[in-house]
Structure 1
């Protein structure tokens, strides 16, 4: 999908500062770097210059990278649609969704002009979740002007195929960051806490309203959560932990919850999901995570990708040896200043 006229991988590693080491076999024979590796493409946004970074993993050892230039100066949530070869990201500098069509054959350094634009409605947009032609963006700006009362907003946009229109706005009684759909249910991390909330049949809310979560639980072991992703094929949910927001170098991590559906249903509203028996935690100085703000999971190749906003100024990290958890080094490490979001297309 991505233009192949790149320099050798050796030159690429030197010029882009990418380091990559062989991934270990965990439980998946696909993750051997050979013929069984499923090629994937990772898209990343950032709050440094608003450009889009594309990482094309042909194999564990063969990675091609390109940067697409946008007019935004800061961006967050990102999504790719394979049918139209279009990428969409949330512009924090313009407070809107911007879409760019037919990007697959563009070369690195190409300047993008927005093909699909949304209205400038938001104040502090973060993650984006997509369900059909509905794009939902979490905004973590204070709604009522009182920072002692946590709240946030979920902006719901209808995509017509050529533009975005604001359908409705849902106000929440907690601060927002990462969001993801599981079916028609919207799962949201509760910013500034270790909690996870769900809004069942979220899109049935079609008018502006204040809506309470259907259920909210605490994820034991997390200090402050930001990123979230769910893989339906393996029923795995992953949440990131930025730890102390003032420490951007080495106190971050992520939690893996396999068999998520039954485990979440077994915890009553307001209760705690224990680490023991339910979760695997990856954290520590070797992980290079201080402020992991978003996450994507390649379940075919057993690799977890992290948008790390703080450590070393920002990175995109990949972990393939996470099954036992602990203080492990990433198997993929590419510098990206103020990395803010990642999206995996396989």
Structure 2
């Protein structure tokens, strides 16, 4: 359970004051407020929002994504495309803050992955999305979901299911797994995913729903009834990205007809030149402070952006926090 001591505030950063490693203490939250970010080069950065310190871990996990920090395990899991596996790095609290250091994975799963995109966790089960073109035919879309069980310091592959679409971001809402249908504006759901899909086979989603105004969905994150979705727009553009905020998400998703849409007036949308959103990939939402952090992959060669009052504002907003991180791929926000 999160316990907070202070009110949230952001300093509205300019290109000068929040570039490179000059991250000011723009957010005052609880005694622990750490934003973890992965990069394509294998770097993981931890930003201490209270102090402005940046700690850099050189993990060797090239093209890492899907980072998740666990306070109980004092470490983080991430998916390494370069190493083709899920990995865990422990004893993070033992490393001096504000430095750059090399670390090695304590353990990892088998080298099964080919083109992993995201990681979702439900209890001791870890699910990795992989959108490899399995048959070499671009006209037949498919992806895979690798289901691992974490046990005794290891990730054990339970089974692999094949989806009928290219999959990108994934997120558990209770026991249901939601998956972004790559190259579309659609979100698919698999009911009771872990107990229903226990064999290696092709599976069909229980429902698909589109989101009006969204072009190409990649990232998603859910907390306390609100789902946030990233729209990369046209892949070639570095200025047409957007963030969609959907309150009372489950009700709106269920109300929409199968194959239908959540209408534009049922969402809030952050988009436009002031936002610096081009191809926003992963994103993370914190409901207590009503803020969304975004991994912007192309605008400015890669940035971390944050938008305050996410449930209350929309339109062509300037980010409330901006931090340059070339090659940023995924984010996780940890508070206590």
TM over 0.5: yes
Task: Answer yes or no: is 1:104 the counterpart of 2:93.
Answer: yes
State the Cα deviation string for residues 204-229 of structure 1 (Å, max 9, x = none): 11110110100001111101010000
How many Å separate the matches in 1 of 2:24 and 2:213?
Answer: 30
- Judged with a 3 Å threshold, the aligned counterparts in structure 2 of structure 1 residues 15 and 210 are, in CA distance, closer, same or farther, namely closer
Q: Give the deviation of 1:265 after TM superposition.
A: 1.1
Conserved in 2, the CA contact under 8 Å of 1:18 and 1:335? no
- Judged with a 3 Å threshold, the aligned counterparts in structure 2 of structure 1 residues 19 and 329 are, in CA distance, closer, same or farther, namely farther
Task: Answer yes or no: is 1:43 the counterpart of 2:36.
Answer: yes
2:123 corresponds in structure 1 to: 132
Q: Give the deviation of 1:15 after TM superposition.
A: 5.6
Equivalences for 1:1-346 in 2 at 5 Å? 16-18=21-23, 33=28, 39-47=32-40, 49-58=41-50, 62-107=51-96, 108-204=99-195, 205-231=197-223, 233=224, 235-247=225-237, 249-276=238-265, 278-322=266-310, 323-346=312-335
- Judged with a 3 Å threshold, the aligned counterparts in structure 2 of structure 1 residues 15 and 338 are, in CA distance, closer, same or farther, namely closer
Aligned CA RMSD, in angstroms, stands at 1.7
Q: Give the deviation of 1:81 after TM superposition.
A: 0.8
What is the TM-score when the length of structure 1 is the normalising length? Answer: 0.87
Q: Give the deviation of 1:64 after TM superposition.
A: 2.2
How many Å separate the matches in 2 of 1:17 and 1:269?
Answer: 47
What is the TM-score when the length of structure 2 is the normalising length? Answer: 0.90
Q: What is the number of residues matched between the two proteins?
A: 315
Q: Give the deviation of 1:37 after TM superposition.
A: 5.7
Conserved in 2, the CA contact under 8 Å of 1:20 and 1:332? no
Q: Give the deviation of 1:123 after TM superposition.
A: 0.8
Q: Secondary structure at the match of 1:16?
A: coil
Q: What stretches of structure 1 of length at least 5 have no aligned partner?
A: 1-11, 24-32
Conserved in 2, the CA contact under 8 Å of 1:256 and 1:279? yes
Q: What stretches of structure 2 of length at least 5 have no aligned partner?
A: 1-16
Q: Secondary structure at the match of 1:221?
A: coil
Conserved in 1, the CA contact under 8 Å of 2:189 and 2:207? yes
Q: Secondary structure at the match of 2:139?
A: coil
State the Cα deviation string for residues 213-267 of structure 1 (Å, max 9, x = none): 0000111110101000000x3x0000000000011x2110110001112111111
Question: Which has the larger displacement, 127-136 or 336-345?
Answer: 336-345
How many Å separate the matches in 1 of 2:61 and 2:313?
Answer: 40
Conserved in 2, the CA contact under 8 Å of 1:176 and 1:189? yes
How many Å separate the matches in 2 of 1:14 and 1:295?
Answer: 20
- Judged with a 3 Å threshold, the aligned counterparts in structure 2 of structure 1 residues 63 and 18 are, in CA distance, closer, same or farther, namely closer
How many Å separate the matches in 1 of 2:154 and 2:248?
Answer: 38
Q: Give the deviation of 1:72 after TM superposition.
A: 2.0
How many Å separate the matches in 2 of 1:259 and 1:328?
Answer: 23
Q: Secondary structure at the match of 2:42?
A: coil
Conserved in 1, the CA contact under 8 Å of 2:18 and 2:323? no
- Judged with a 3 Å threshold, the aligned counterparts in structure 2 of structure 1 residues 286 and 38 are, in CA distance, closer, same or farther, namely farther
Q: Give the deviation of 1:106 after TM superposition.
A: 1.3
Q: Give the deviation of 1:74 after TM superposition.
A: 1.7
Conserved in 2, the CA contact under 8 Å of 1:17 and 1:335? no
